[in-house]
Amino acid sequence: MSLVLAVDDTRALRSMLADCLKKGGHQVVLAADGVEALDKLRQHKPDMVITDLNMPRMNGLDFIEAARREPEGRALPMLLLTTETAQSLKDRARAVKATGWLNKPFDPGQILSLVDQLS
């Protein structure tokens, strides 16, 4: 069982993710944007992060970049879950040391097996 920080500014997505993870036996901490996620990261020290890309205040890429500088985030598996597909963004994801890139719509089975695998 892992503690997963799920970050998405869309409430429906956040709830779906949380539900999916909880059904997989994980604990979930939610955040609606990068700033909140950074807070939650320091506070809860999750085992893994799944984050949206486009979000208000701080987007997923900036969040990952910032999180990598935190002790809690340095070696943390952090997945981007987004509808974006541009290669430039994927390159940037790599540059900020995102662990992986997933496209919405997400497949609950896939998410769960990745959480099991990576955390």
Q: Which tokens belong to 102?
A: 């997933």
C-alpha dihedral over 68, 70, 75, 80, to 10 degrees?
Answer: -40
**Which candidate, 90, 108, 89, 96, places its Cα nearest to that of 67?**
96
CB of 38 to other proteins, least distance (A): 13
CB of 42 to other proteins, least distance (A): 16
On whether the CB atoms of residues 8 and 51 are closer than 8 A, the answer is: yes
Rounded Cα distance between 33 and 106, Å, is: 19
- Comparison of 27 and 99: residue with beta carbon closer to other proteins: 99
Contact positions vs other proteins (CB under 8 A): 9-13, 15-16, 19-20, 23, 32-34, 36, 52-59, 61-62, 68, 74-79, 82-86, 88-94, 97-110, 113-114, 116-119
CB of 59 to other proteins, least distance (A): 5
Orientation of helix 108-118 relative to helix 11-23, angle to 10°: 60
- Comparison of 10 and 27: residue with beta carbon closer to other proteins: 10
- Comparison of 27 and 33: residue with beta carbon closer to other proteins: 33
